[in-house]
Structure 1
Amino acid sequence: MLWLCLFQISSNKNTLDPSALKVYGRYSINNEQGLELISSAVHFGFSFDGTECSIDASIQNKQGHNYLQYELDGQYQKRIKITGSSTDPISITAQTNGRHTVWIYKATEAHTGGIFIRKIAGDNLKPVEETKAPLIEFIGNSITCGAAADASEVPCGNGQYHDQHNAYMAYGPRVARLLGTGFILSSVSGIGMYRNWNSDSPTMPQVYEKVDFQDKSQRQWNFALFTPQVVSIALGTNDFSNGDGIKKRLPFDSSEFVNRYVKFVELVKSKYPKAQIALLSSAMVNGNSRAILQRCLITVKERINGSHPADKKVATYFFQPMQPHGCSGHPSVEDHAILAKELVPFFKKLLR
Structure 2
Amino acid sequence: MINLKFSTRYLLLAACGVVMSCAPARMATPTTDTLPSNALQPLGRYQLTGAGQLELISSAVHFGFTFEGKECQLFASLPSGQSHNYLQYELDGTYQKRLRVEGGAAAPLTIAAPAAGRHTVWIYKATEAHTGPIDIQKITGPKLAALPPPTGPLIEFIGNSITCGAAADPSEVPCGTGEYQDQHNAYQAYGPRVARTLHANYILSSVSGIGAYRTWNRTGPTMPEVYEKLDFQATNSQLWDFANYKPAVVSIALGTNDLSDGDGKTPRLPFDSAAFVNSYAQFVVLVKTKYPQARIALLNSPMLNGQKRTKLQNCLTAIKTKTDAAYPSAPPVALFFFEPMQAHGCNGHPDVADHAILAKEMEPFLQKLL
Aligned mate of 1:252, from 242, 258, 271: 271
Q: TM-score with structure 1 length normalisation?
A: 0.95
> 2:33 aligned with 1:14, yes or no?
yes
Compute the displacement of 1:96 (Å): 1.1
Distance in 2 of aligned mates of 1:61 and 1:261:
32
**Where does 1:176-325 land on structure 2 (aligned, <5 Å)?**
176-325=195-344
Letter matched to residue 366 of structure 2:
F
Aligned to 1:161: 180
Percent of paired sites with the same residue: 61
Letter of the 1:294 partner, please give it.
Q
Could you report, residue by residue, the CA deviation over 1:268-307 in whole angstroms, capped at 9, with x for unpaired residues? 0000000000000000011101001000000000110011
Q: Which of the numbers 107, 110, 124 marks the counterpart of 1:88? A: 107
Q: Could you tell me which residue of structure 2 aligns to residue 4 of structure 1? A: none
Read off the aligned partner of 1:147 and give its amino acid letter.
A
How far apart are the structure 2 equivalents of 1:229 and 1:127? 25
CA distance in 2, matches of 1:151, 1:177: 23
Match of 1:49 among 49, 68, 79: 68
1-side partners of 2:253 and 2:150: how far apart?
Answer: 27
CA distance in 2, matches of 1:110, 1:316: 27
Give CA deviations for 1:14-70 in whole Å, capped at 9, x if unaligned: 111111111100001013160000000000000111111111100024461000000
**Is the helix fraction higher in 1 or 2?**
2
Number of the residue aligned with 2:144: 125
Structure number with greater Rg is 2
- Give the deviation of 1:105 after TM superposition: 0.3
Q: What TM-score comes out, normalization by structure 2 length?
A: 0.90
| 1:94-143 residue CA offsets vs partner (Å, 9 max, x unmatched) | 11111100000000000000000000111111111453300000000000
Aligned equivalents of 1:164, 1:53: Cα separation in 2: 26
Runs of 4+ in 1 over 3 A off after TM superposition: none
> Contact 2:82/2:132 (CA < 8 Å) preserved in 1?
no
User: CA, structure 1 residues 63+346, in 2 after alignment: closer, same or farther (shift >3 Å)?
Assistant: closer
Change (3 A) 1:158 1:119: same
CA offset at residue 85 of structure 1?
Answer: 2.5
- Alpha carbons of structure 1 residues 105 and 63: separation in structure 2 relative to 1, 3 Å: closer
* Number of aligned residue pairs: 340
The residue type equivalent to 1:235 in the other structure is L
| 1:119 alignment partner AA | K
Q: Secondary structure in 2 aligned to 1:243?
A: coil
Is the contact between residue 159 and residue 253 of structure 2 (CA under 8 Å) also seen in structure 1?
Answer: yes
232-241 vs 23-32, which moves further: 23-32
- Name the residue aligned to 1:6: none
For the aligned residue pairs, the C-alpha RMSD in angstroms reads 1.1
After the TM superposition, which of the residue ranges 55-64 and 239-248 deviates more from structure 2?
55-64
Separation in structure 1 between the aligned mates of residue 104 and residue 220 of structure 2, nearest angstrom:
34
Counterpart pick for 1:65 among 80, 84, 92: 84
2:60–2:124 CA contact under 8 A, matched in 1: yes
Q: Whole-Å Cα distance in 2 between the matches of residues 42 and 222 of structure 1?
A: 15
Partner secondary structure for residue 70 of structure 2: strand
SS at match of 2:230: coil
Question: Do the aligned residues in 1 keep the contact of 2:34 with 2:139 (CA within 8 Å)?
Answer: yes
The unaligned stretches of length 5 or more in structure 1 are: 1-11
**What one-letter code is carried by the residue in structure 2 that aligns with 1:265?**
V
Q: Tell me what 1:327 maps to.
A: 346
2: CA distance, partners of 1:173 / 1:153: 21
Give, in whole Å, the separation in 2 of the partners of 1:213 and 1:105.
Answer: 18
The answer to whether the Cα contact below 8 Å between 1:62 and 1:83 also exists between their aligned partners in 2 is: no
Verify the 8 A CA contact 2:169 2:185 in the aligned structure 1: yes
Contact 1:108 1:145 in 2 (8 A): yes
Tell me, yes or no, if the aligned pair for 1:33 and 1:116 is still in contact at 8 Å.
no
